[in-house]
Structure 1
């Protein structure tokens, strides 16, 4: 385990635990273990379901783990959240990601 992940993991359950810590853990795990990253992104959303970046990260992690349907569902939810918050960049990015998966799944 990378030292950064170890340091972040030590903060889980403490006074600094929250959506941003869990997002950081998701980002840190994304390249090494997509399933573990997805777990942390879900935890981040448990703290704050309006965090567009967590929806985007969850979709990426699920896609990387081979769960295209799960990734698509995460991005669709994330698109709705981003639109409601006015987070146009995240909305655009997740729309592109979702379309790519829809084409792959034949959902168009």
Structure 2
């Protein structure tokens, strides 16, 4: 399955016009990622998590982005907050995925006995 291509300019115009939303921020982040501008995607996902801290999808996307940027400590925090959000909404699939991603980070950092299953605040 191929991801749809997003054009950044119209999305930025919507944002500039005051049409800010979680969906717009996540879509903008995806557009920047598709263009290879990973650092430009970060503030949009951070804002998405601020607009709706209970949206586990934004936390997951932010964690993945931080991993791609080599910012494992920030990725760990994002995944932990995402796990909390997923648990609160009964989203078992998102919860499991982020736990797996945390464990992967733990293995890479040599922290095999890490706290992957536990979400910290």
Q: TM-score, normalised by structure 1?
A: 0.90
Match of 1:22 among 20, 25, 43: 25
Across the two proteins, how many residue pairs are aligned to each other? 107
Residues 55, 77 of structure 1: 8 Å contact kept: yes
CA distance in 2, matches of 1:3, 1:96: 29
> Among 97, 100, 103, which residue is 1:99 paired with?
103
Q: Distance in 2 between matches of 1:100 and 1:70?
A: 14
Query: C-alpha deviations, 1:51-83, integer Å up to 9, x for none?
Result: 111000100111111101111111011011101
**CA displacement at 1:6 relative to structure 2:** 1.1
The RMSD of aligned alpha carbons is: 1.6
In the other structure, the counterpart of 2:116 is none
Structure 1 pair 93–9 and aligned structure 2 pair: CA distance change class (3 A): same
- Structure with bigger gyration radius: 2
After TM superposition, the score normalised by the length of structure 2 is 0.81
Unaligned runs of 5+ in 1: none
What residue is the counterpart of 2:10 in the other structure? 7
Q: Point out where structure 2 has 5 or more consecutive residues left out of the alignment.
A: 113-121
Give the Cα–Cα distance (whole angstroms) in 2 for the partners of residues 98 and 3 of structure 1.
29
> Deviating runs (4+, > 4 A) in structure 1?
none
